[in-house]
A and B are shown apart, each in its own frame.
Chain A
Amino acid sequence: MEGTNCEYETYLAFKELGTKPEYVHLKEIERGAKKVDDYQCIFLPGGFSAGDYVRAGAIFAARLKADVFNDLKRFVEDGGVMVGVCNGFQVLIELGFLPALNGISDEPEACLATNDSNRFECRQTLVRHEGRGCKLTSNISEGKIGLIPSAHMEGKLVFKNDEYAQEVNEKQVVFRYVDRDGNLAGYPWNPNGSYANIAGICNNEGNVMGMMPHPERAFHKWQNPGWEGNDGRDVFEGIVGYIERKW
């Protein structure tokens, strides 16, 4: 929708892996020109949808909720893949599709709150793959550290209560911010103050994933200033690999 960005990089990433991606504007879904069921994966890119007014991702989520909530819910419950990066992650949280510890919720059970630094953090971050139960990253070995850039103002993941947070932390964490030795560390390694250094989570079934760092900005080595790697490619290969196995 208005304010989304990085959709071109995302499109190219999927295309390069041999899939047939399509741009779908929210309005096309709203007026019924395109249907959720026509796809195997719905990817919500980053950006500042609706100017980030109210809260980041809140208006995008409210519009999806008003128009296609049941279609999306059925899509996910049938095993369809949903991925949200940065603003897309914020949308999935506001929508109640993540963490969805006990299933999709009507009200948000978590929030991506303002970074502790109160700054827009736009730089490289190191993330360690945990992969607990995530079907979309089964290609990435546990403990692998990747260099993937972050760019957000609201990325601090908080949960509705401690018990809920601990359970998500044990079962659904896909990526954590770490230092160069792979240890959980505070700012600046953790750019936002996120609970337990969480950078990405999945739902209980492992087919919905959200992450704050931008894998589409680390798909090619030349996207990194020092040509230091293309760890974002792993994320896309994982998603495509799962879709190929499932369908």
Chain B
Amino acid sequence: MNIGEKIKGLVDYFRSEDFKITLILVKKSPLTVLGLALTIFLVLVAIFAPLIAPYDPIKQDLKNRLQPPSWEHPFGTDQLGRDIFSRVVWGSRISLFIALIVVAISFTVGTTIGIISGYFGGKVDEVLMRITDMFMAFPRLVLALAVAAALGPGLFNTMLAIAFVSWVYYARLARASTLQIREEVYIEAARAIGASDKRILFLHVLPMVIAPVVVQATLDMGGTILTAAGLGFLGLGVQPPTPEWGVMVSEGRRFITEQWWVSTFPGFAILLATLGFNLLGDGINDILNVRARR
């Protein structure tokens, strides 16, 4: 299919009854709308960060350290005089970036492994599942900590660590879905017309498996932001002066009684971002369930 057809396909979809029903379902659930709004808001802030942030997030201004929130500094300043509002705004880019990359990697790797495992079964399945079992035996954060500690701190290593432990959940989900789908008649039909296993896996099974996996991915975006913040908080993730929210919360710990704004605003950002993705993920899940029953 060429670009023209793809665009036409998209336009057709938005005009279709199917889409209208999806819109109705979305509107029926105020929480989903809220989740969607928060997520879009986060993305916009991240995209337009340079335009929104009034100050340089890294430049220090020791004369102005630990100022409370005011008109010039809506979120106050931190211990190095940096405007917290600007740092939170720029921090959205970091968090979103981490979330996107990590989820993209774990989603791709996990789903591929999952559908292969589920479709072929047998020894392949057993081996892959024992491996995922090993990973799942540990709490995610603990494992990510261990990997991060082994790799060392930094943005790149943080992403690697989280992705390393996250893919297993996608694999399990994709596998469960695949086990059910491979029994369907239309899969047998694909075999009957001569489709190879590879073709069936990626063109027939995958499109059906995507739905629950996408829900997981959306929820995971929030979870990843939280985990990255956790790692940052513990000093094993992104390093200062990069304005990552977790690092910011951690640095504000010392001032929490008197200068509450240093930790609170980045903490609040973490909350909103995670909440947005969670609500959106749940909403998508509900909508897909309703449509599946139709």
Same assembly:
no
| Chain B residues with a Cβ under 8 A of chain A | none
